[in-house]
Structure 1
Amino acid sequence: MIQHRLNAGEVLVGRYQILNYHAAGGMQEVYYCFDQTLERHAALKIPKAGVKDRRFRRGAEMGARVNHPNIAATLDYYEDDSLTFLVEEFIPGLDLGQRLANEFHFLDPYLCAHVAHHVAKALHEAHGVGICHRDLKPSNIMTSPDPSIESIKLTDFGIAKLAESEIAAEMELFAEDESTLVTSNTLLGAVPYMAPECWDDWKSAGMPMDVWALGSVIYHLLNGAPPFGTGRNAIMNVAKYQAGTFKLTKPVWFGKYPDTRDLEGNLWDIITKCLAVDPADRPTAKDLLGAFNSLTYASGARKLGYITQYPMSYAGGGTATAGFIRDVDNESRFFHLTSFYGMHGPEKGQKVCFASYPGVPSPRSSPILLLK
């Protein structure tokens, strides 16, 4: 059993009551707490292994400078000889990495555009006040648990400064011993989204590395896997990409859906610009936000359901490439194959999320996204 350093019921500095252990990242442990002064719940983060580190304070100061609905707010910081902690807005839900691993095979273009647009807003706000995140990846993007992914917040700005030095040190070790990559959760998690200049000089890499990371995240959302793979493969493929011997390929399902063909093209254009080898050739966060602001995409509420019939049978015989979904409210909804996003199927019993609109004789569904 893992022993955590803070215990439920413990009250820090006469104010923050620890309710339970919540999660751990490469750089910190996270606890769910109650702020007894302001009577609100919050996330309380402490540096890993109890190490006091001034970078944790600098990171907190950086996080406090950014105020935006798509960024988790930094609320407080405390440090003395025996205790260091950061208090941040608590975001109920799951990080995007968890959802990609356990829920989504990939996102349809509408849902991808919705998520990426909000992350671009967060990045624009941070870069506007001179802050580079430096560790943008799905696990640092918190989402509400609903199938619409209504709430999206970029987090861990307060940890970025701490992660910066650790990643730099681990990259130096990796150059001497490649097994470092396997033993370091911090470096391993960052590698699939790291720009090529990071390997040349991590500390001098700047805001364009965040743009590259966002392009990699968008690709992951659409493809179900990062553009260059993971681990050592990602490092080698990025090097090949720099040399012009690795070609970025579109998701295999691109071009199959007439309704989203234009949006797919626009998203692919954003991805390829973000993944320009030369940092100077990448768009700025301001450019990215402008590109997303110009997109047209549906972002209506979605429901969960199961396919109950496919293909649809006619009374007089024969079948059609259409079927029915039953939602969590036990209502039956019609759908057509041209609106179904999945690597296989549709098949009876598959779990899906979908948007719906009125229809006769049954409500219609579009798009329909296959879930794990």
Structure 2
Amino acid sequence: MKVPEKIGKYEVIACVGRGSMGVVFSAHDPFADRKVAIKVCSISDENESHSSRLAKKLFFNEAHTTGALDHPSILSVLDAGEDDDCPYIVLEFLDGGDTLKRYIEKDNLLSIDRTVEILFQCAKALDYAHRRGVIHRDIKATNIMLTADGRVKICDFGIAQFSSGDQTQVLGLLGSPRYMSPEQAREEDVTAHTDIYSLGVVAYELLTGKAPFAANGLSKLIKQILHEDPAPISDFRPDVPKQLAQIVAKAMAKSVDARYQSGQEMASDLASVFSHLEVPADPPPQEDKFSTVRELPFFNEFSDDEVSEVMAAADWKQFNAMDSIVDEGTLEHSFFIIISGDVAVVKAAKQISTLTKGDCFGEMSYVLKAQRSASIIATGDVELLRVDAALMEQASTATQLRFNQIFLRTLIERLATTSEELARYVA
């Protein structure tokens, strides 16, 4: 594939990578004025082989599953579309950095502290994805990137699946063999526990420079995964703390019941061993959340079922004084409802208003899929309900219409307030 001048609205800069399924270009987004990466599917429509159909399914699956996620440690999907019948995905561009493959070589291992920080970020990101119903199914060193400033980015959700419904599932023995969990190798139903297992394999490699299992041939490798234990980490690296080796062993337990039950649980154990890591405080129980949200004036016209739908598409967020919640000019398809506390609305470095409990913000960017028109900054401790656009699109028509009615009313009220202020200014 030659380098095109444009893909959709994006101005192509250069080809930065090629793979069996597609080509990756760097490009410029003229509307958001930023550099992006564009992955273009290189499988032609004329090729109707099973492998080509599967490749296309994986390609579209990545756009669908990752588009439902918005986490600092997951590579963001910004857009997707087709250009001359050629599908493409627009991703955030990472300037510099590398995958963890570079750091699983025995002569290039990272420090233990740095390795734990990476595993901690990965565990939290997977916990977020799992809570949104997304299972990656192909966690491995080459699918985890470190940015130039050291942040983790999990990428390549091509064979991911939603844990409920089958609209995006890609069935069969998929995944990289040496990272497969026992249940994945047996082609059983895959759950979030598989991602935990695979992260354990990555941890083992980062600490030792060795794969926990290695064999000539897939059948022998699967036999090892199912029936054998890996060599103790201390055989290769005696300086690894015993508690850390135990965390890796628990992540790689052959029994799902003996494994970590969530990424949050694994992150908490890592934090208990390495005290410089901070695990966010546990959010309130689900029943307490529902009661709190139900009492907000914003939801007065919602039924209990509709409130439950909203909460299924939302995250409970906490911010401290002066934390930036939304940045002016950024593109993020979500909106927020204030549960407690106050926030400042700032435009061009000037505070223009204050919002408080029960107010919403970000609704115009959500509706129009446009850039944020102002920044939002916490003036004290704040709790928010962040509602994800991609998940809200799966809500019932009644719930979506209810939101549209409230957004329209909010817009009218804010326009009326602005008109009054302008009238006073002119007078």
Normalised by the length of structure 1, the TM-score is 0.62
Displacement of 1:58: 3.8
Displacement of 1:37: 1.6
Displacement of 1:159: 5.8
CA–CA separation in structure 1 for the residues paired with 2:236 and 2:187: 37
Which segment drifts farther, 51-60 or 114-123?
51-60
Relative to structure 1, the CA distance from residue 37 to residue 163 in structure 2 (aligned partners, 3 Å threshold; closer, same or farther) is same
In structure 2, what residue type is equivalent to 1:17?
E
- Unpaired stretches in structure 1, ≥5 consecutive residues: 172-185, 300-372
Q: Hey, what does 2:3 align to over in structure 1?
A: 7
Among residues 14, 19, 23, which one is paired with 1:20 in the alignment? 14
Q: Hey, what does 1:95 align to over in structure 2?
A: 98
Relative to structure 1, the CA distance from residue 163 to residue 61 in structure 2 (aligned partners, 3 Å threshold; closer, same or farther) is closer
Displacement of 1:83: 1.6
Of structures 1 and 2, the larger Rg is shown by: 2
Q: Hey, what does 1:156 align to over in structure 2?
A: 156
Does residue 240 (structure 1) correspond to residue 224 (structure 2)? The answer is: yes
Alignment of 1:157-236 (within 5 A): 157=157, 160=160, 165=170, 168=172, 171=173, 190-201=176-187, 204-229=189-214, 232=217, 236=220
- Looking at both structures, which has the greater relative contact order when contacts are Cα pairs under 8 Å and sequence separation is at least 6? 1
Relative to structure 1, the CA distance from residue 102 to residue 249 in structure 2 (aligned partners, 3 Å threshold; closer, same or farther) is closer
Q: Hey, what does 1:113 align to over in structure 2?
A: 116
Normalised by the length of structure 2, the TM-score is 0.55
CA–CA separation in structure 2 for the residues paired with 1:62 and 1:144: 22
CA–CA separation in structure 2 for the residues paired with 1:29 and 1:152: 23
Per-residue displacement from partner, 1:106-153 (whole Å, max 9, x unpaired)? 22211110111111111111011010011111111111246xxx2111
Does residue 296 (structure 1) correspond to residue 274 (structure 2)? The answer is: yes
Alignment partner of 1:117: what SS?
helix
Q: Hey, what does 2:252 align to over in structure 1?
A: 275
CA–CA separation in structure 2 for the residues paired with 1:295 and 1:246: 24
CA–CA separation in structure 2 for the residues paired with 1:77 and 1:48: 15
Alignment partner of 1:276: what SS?
coil
CA–CA separation in structure 2 for the residues paired with 1:132 and 1:241: 20
CA–CA separation in structure 2 for the residues paired with 1:230 and 1:156: 26
Relative to structure 1, the CA distance from residue 251 to residue 46 in structure 2 (aligned partners, 3 Å threshold; closer, same or farther) is farther
In structure 2, what residue type is equivalent to 1:282?
R
Displacement of 1:194: 0.8
In structure 1, what residue type is equivalent to 2:80?
Y
Per-residue displacement from partner, 1:204-230 (whole Å, max 9, x unpaired)? 222111011000000000011221126
CA–CA separation in structure 2 for the residues paired with 1:285 and 1:247: 22
Does residue 126 (structure 1) correspond to residue 132 (structure 2)? The answer is: no
Q: Hey, what does 1:66 align to over in structure 2?
A: 69
In structure 2, what residue type is equivalent to 1:205?
V
- Contact 1:60/1:159 (8 A) holds in 2: no
In structure 1, what residue type is equivalent to 2:187?
D
CA–CA separation in structure 2 for the residues paired with 1:96 and 1:107: 13
- Contact 2:101/2:142 (8 A) holds in 1: yes
Relative to structure 1, the CA distance from residue 137 to residue 28 in structure 2 (aligned partners, 3 Å threshold; closer, same or farther) is farther
Relative to structure 1, the CA distance from residue 238 to residue 34 in structure 2 (aligned partners, 3 Å threshold; closer, same or farther) is same
In structure 1, what residue type is equivalent to 2:184?
C
CA–CA separation in structure 2 for the residues paired with 1:50 and 1:266: 51
- Unpaired stretches in structure 2, ≥5 consecutive residues: 46-52, 162-166, 278-427
Q: Hey, what does 1:45 align to over in structure 2?
A: 39
In structure 2, what residue type is equivalent to 1:214?
L
CA–CA separation in structure 2 for the residues paired with 1:30 and 1:103: 30
Identity across matched positions, percent = 26
In structure 2, what residue type is equivalent to 1:75?
L
CA–CA separation in structure 1 for the residues paired with 2:273 and 2:22: 37
Alignment partner of 1:229: what SS?
coil
In structure 1, what residue type is equivalent to 2:245?
W
Per-residue displacement from partner, 1:288-344 (whole Å, max 9, x unpaired)? 122223232669xxxxxxxxxxxxxxxxxxxxxxxxxxxxxxxxxxxxxxxxxxxxx
Kindly report the root-mean-square deviation, in angstroms, between the aligned alpha carbons of the 2 structures: 3.0
- Contact 2:99/2:141 (8 A) holds in 1: yes
